[in-house]
Amino acid sequence: MVNESLNMYYDFSKLISNEEYITGNSVLEVLKKYSPMISVFDMMEFSSQVIKENRYVQESYREDSQKSYIESFLLRVKEISKDENDYRQIIDSKSLSEAIEVINARFEKEEDESKVSLIFYMSSIYATFILEESIHPVGTPFPGSLKVELEDGTFYCPVKEANMDTPNAVCRMCLAEQLDF
């Protein structure tokens, strides 16, 4: 829902402007405020949209792609409310600010009452800033039989650079680097 999405953006904006050092715990606190707003029906709508958007993906890896997207984004949203770990790491406020600007740009244009975008962005922030993982999990398939990889503690994505100019792409906030292929 647009109001909840914009409110989350405003909460992150306040966090950035009010705290000298932003910790993973403070970011998680904002995410936890909004995670209960995602219902089973929102998750079903999210799954349906992923399946719809993947209808043009090559059949040979369509099912794996859909499964990866649905599991990674939906499972992370469910994890947020249950996560009781202590995340004391200091979050780079500039990176977080850039990430929430991506969110704001999307939500300012959002006209429907869907929470699909909220699921994408909450999961992306959680993966990037809390879990310190790539947004798409290792093994996520992409065209050309390429996958997200983890090598020596660095995540590599085969499509990161191709999506950096896409205004709403979560790739812009992902910590993965471009996979050379």
CA distance 38 to 12: 18
In a domain, 150, yes or no: no
DSSP-assigned beta bridge partners for residue 22: 91
Q: Which pair of tokens denotes residue 146?
A: 């390429």
Query: For the chain, what is the domain count?
Result: 1
Q: Is 181 helix (H, G, I), strand (E, B) or coil?
A: coil
Output the tens digit of pLDDT for each of the chain's 181 residues.
Answer: 457 777 888 999 999 999 889 999 999 999 999 999 999 999 999 999 988 988 887 787 788 888 888 888 999 999 999 999 999 999 999 999 988 888 777 666 656 567 888 898 899 999 999 999 999 989 888 877 889 999 999 999 998 988 888 777 788 889 999 998 7
Which sign does the torsion angle of CA 17, 22, 26, 28 carry? positive
In a domain, 172, yes or no: no
In a domain, 156, yes or no: no
Return contacts of 54-57, CB within 8 angstroms, 24+ apart: 57/143
In a domain, 158, yes or no: no
Tell me the whole-structure pTM to 2 decimals: 0.90
Range of the domain at 79: 2-133
In a domain, 157, yes or no: no
For position 71, what pLDDT does the model report?
Answer: 81
In a domain, 128, yes or no: yes
In a domain, 126, yes or no: yes
In a domain, 113, yes or no: yes
Q: Is 173 exposed, middle or buried (0-12, 13-18, 19+ CB in 10 A)?
A: buried
For β-strands 22-23 and 141-142, DSSP reports them as unpaired
